[in-house]
Structure 1
């Protein structure tokens, strides 16, 4: 078997045993890992792969998991999600659990424990009175990080996003770092678990009020992702909450879950249970929702063709003429698509402050509109607010997993920041989606490039990352 064939077989076995998937640019480090582990076990590459495929090999699996895991994390990472947990999800669950006086939470792929302890601290802050039982379980496949989690000691860098008051109350200075106080440690337990394998006790239906599973799904195979999402959904109590990472999306209408948007973040609530305090509509499939069967569509204004004319002028890069047309007084209602086009034209004309203001109004009025977030991202990026622009692109891609253009911008920005692995993942996804991208979206957000030109640009960026789709 050739060296490339060895690596391909190694990737296949890792996918089968652990549920993990790897990008094409991982071939070289995987090949080095394969040679190292085969030599450590006194085997040829062929013999090592045959043994790995034959039957359970716990000791070797533990080594592979330790060596291949991505373990970077910190306390209260993505604070907007913890704000939604503290101010929306947990108070609602406390009302629903008033008879049982208990709340159970699960941290999936908990790594070295920062997320699990952050959940416990948040639960402790929210609990209605001291008689309540707060329970957090952290699971991970990597035994090394679980040992660190049990120790509950962290450097100042791990607490970089932790509010000062929280750090003072729930952590104690020790050996140049901080240790979680015993009161919180008693609320948390850790166990080793492989999400690619079923576990009846861990995934017992209806046992968790909240599950955090952030930035894991992107590393799993499609089949394992599907099975894990089903298990998590079933393991939530009706009305329970699922928080995913910004890189993960379950699409518009995942089975058994409804999307919520508060605190400038998105998360999911399992259907059923008591009515939530705030419920949001299902995502529209286009910028303008289609009329229901019993609601007649509003009559278009007499000059409705102004939109199409302005769009054509945009294609011709006649921005000033298009802007005059789309901003002219209308004889009927101004539709959302007209305002979106108006914002694009303001940006193209260099009137960034006005474009940003309009884009923010659109996203505030309908936080579930991916096109509004894409427009805002483009305006902010041009205005040198790159970090906020990245957040807007992530929201656009999260809200519409079929939207190619935010993926492309995320890939280009990741490459600019030197993160070729993240760039390759985003650009590969963008390239896959570009063939099906909506023509009007390409006109609005393609920067003057057509579908073919965008595809060429995307391939060129991928080549620069060392990935060849």
Structure 2
């Protein structure tokens, strides 16, 4: 028999370790879990609680999360939210991300993975072409649920709210039900994470375009909720979107977020920070006459590039543009393209070519700019970049993706195979500049996925 004092202490430890809160009607289940976990370790209730309180016990905290969490979910749950995502949110994001062609989504409390895969399917269906990169991260503290999510096999009951055309296109018959199509699973990764703890990598500022966190906040303590909302808000890109459960509310004026309402659904958008478009510098105030300052050391330009590249690795493109200034024309042009200022980026690339002669990187940048208005001109620039530097992987990758868009699988396979071989030796800075926010491994995975779609496995 579990005493009241032991049960109270257990609940306090769960609040501390998992950030969970409990209603009085949860007492029966909580007592059963405490008894079962103590017995599993061959400990008395007191010994178990002492060990849980005394030091980090990550494996046991994960077991407790699995034993106590509510895991019922299904694909496209609350279809009205997915309708807003499909009809309003993703089109707006796609227009804003046209320079990067990248969409990043996060499912917090993803359970057995249905929500994360639903987000991936929605984003893949919405993207303008296969050259757009979609990534979805699902996080949960329940290891058993994450194992099910990675297996990606679901019963027909999990697809009960899935439209028939979506079921036919994105699922394959499998023993016990349906398996999520490889094209979808390739875009999704699952991470074990306890929302009561911080993870600077997971919650990196401006990392996600869309975050779903539904029907989780009601189970968390007020302090944990406040901290989680702060992290999610910070992790959204400018203009990114947050979806909560119907029982969750941040009020009418949440800090850093705008309340949105459409089709009976409430959601939130991260306020867009004003980014100056390179205004002319204001005239400095008069100063006393003095000797002219010596010229700045040449190393400053290199420092600006290193700082800009570091910021680009974190997708902080506006800050990187400020850091690089006007000294590094190539990096400046790339950043202008990433920020959607394509006309300025195109002018910058042409100016670089006029002053510096044929340069593979500048031609590649010009190709990126032309992709939005003339694919043939883009291919011409990529061909020239590849000719000028046969070891340059990125133009071969872009030509492969454009060929896929045209339906030329044979041509796409040639370019993608070349890109896959070249990526192993590609310069790190070039990957940062032209990788669309993705590293060598992600670009390699993209090549392999597209080659699979062409019918060629590498």
After TM superposition, the score normalised by the length of structure 1 is 0.57
> Any conservation in 2 of the 1:239–1:274 contact (CA below 8 Å)?
no
- Per the alignment, residue 177 of structure 1 pairs with 177
- Per the alignment, residue 120 of structure 1 pairs with 120
- Per the alignment, residue 107 of structure 2 pairs with 107
- Aligned mates of 1:259, 1:241 — CA distance in 2: 10
> Any conservation in 1 of the 2:2–2:35 contact (CA below 8 Å)?
no
Q: How do 1:246-265 residues align onto structure 2 when only pairs under 5 Å count?
A: 246-265=246-265
- Per the alignment, residue 462 of structure 1 pairs with none
1:217 aligns with 2:217: yes
- Aligned mates of 1:38, 1:261 — CA distance in 2: 47
Question: Aligned in 2, Cα 1:191/1:209: closer, same or farther, shift over 3 Å?
Answer: same
- Per the alignment, residue 92 of structure 1 pairs with 92
Flag structure 1 segments of 5+ consecutive residues without an equivalent: 276-469
- Aligned mates of 1:241, 1:199 — CA distance in 2: 20
Q: How do 1:26-37 residues align onto structure 2 when only pairs under 5 Å count?
A: 26-37=26-37
What is the deviation of 1:176?
4.0
> Any conservation in 2 of the 1:104–1:209 contact (CA below 8 Å)?
yes
What is the deviation of 1:93?
0.6
What is the deviation of 1:32?
2.1
What is the deviation of 1:40?
1.9
- Per the alignment, residue 69 of structure 1 pairs with 69
- Aligned mates of 1:266, 1:55 — CA distance in 2: 41
Q: How do 1:413-428 residues align onto structure 2 when only pairs under 5 Å count?
A: none
What is the root-mean-square deviation of aligned Cα atoms in Å? 1.5
- Aligned mates of 1:193, 1:59 — CA distance in 2: 12
- Per the alignment, residue 235 of structure 1 pairs with 235
- Aligned mates of 1:77, 1:28 — CA distance in 2: 29
> Any conservation in 1 of the 2:2–2:31 contact (CA below 8 Å)?
no
- Per the alignment, residue 7 of structure 1 pairs with 7
Moved over 3 A (4+): none
Cα distance per residue 1:43-88 (max 9 Å; x no partner): 1111111110000112221221111111000000000000000111
Question: Aligned in 2, Cα 1:2/1:156: closer, same or farther, shift over 3 Å?
Answer: closer
- Per the alignment, residue 190 of structure 1 pairs with 190
- Per the alignment, residue 298 of structure 1 pairs with none
Corresponding residue SS for 1:56 = coil
- Aligned mates of 1:274, 1:103 — CA distance in 2: 21
Cα distance per residue 1:144-172 (max 9 Å; x no partner): 00000001101110000000000000001
- Per the alignment, residue 22 of structure 1 pairs with 22
What is the deviation of 1:273?
5.4
Cα distance per residue 1:332-368 (max 9 Å; x no partner): xxxxxxxxxxxxxxxxxxxxxxxxxxxxxxxxxxxxx
What is the deviation of 1:28?
2.2
- Per the alignment, residue 55 of structure 2 pairs with 55
Cα distance per residue 1:282-331 (max 9 Å; x no partner): xxxxxxxxxxxxxxxxxxxxxxxxxxxxxxxxxxxxxxxxxxxxxxxxxx
Q: How do 1:138-157 residues align onto structure 2 when only pairs under 5 Å count?
A: 138-157=138-157
Question: Aligned in 2, Cα 1:70/1:2: closer, same or farther, shift over 3 Å?
Answer: closer
Cα distance per residue 1:103-144 (max 9 Å; x no partner): 100000000000000000000011011110000000000110
- Aligned mates of 2:159, 2:115 — CA distance in 1: 11
- Aligned mates of 2:214, 2:199 — CA distance in 1: 20
What is the deviation of 1:173?
1.2
After TM superposition, the score normalised by the length of structure 2 is 0.59
Corresponding residue SS for 1:169 = helix
- Aligned mates of 1:209, 1:60 — CA distance in 2: 33
- Aligned mates of 2:27, 2:159 — CA distance in 1: 34
What is the deviation of 1:2?
7.8
Q: How do 1:55-454 residues align onto structure 2 when only pairs under 5 Å count?
A: 55-272=55-272
Cα distance per residue 1:229-268 (max 9 Å; x no partner): 0000000001000000011111111000111111221100
What is the deviation of 1:274?
8.5
- Aligned mates of 1:264, 1:2 — CA distance in 2: 46
- Aligned mates of 2:208, 2:186 — CA distance in 1: 18
The alignment covers a number of residue pairs equal to 275
- Per the alignment, residue 38 of structure 2 pairs with 38
> Any conservation in 1 of the 2:19–2:195 contact (CA below 8 Å)?
yes
Flag structure 2 segments of 5+ consecutive residues without an equivalent: 276-458
> Any conservation in 2 of the 1:96–1:274 contact (CA below 8 Å)?
no
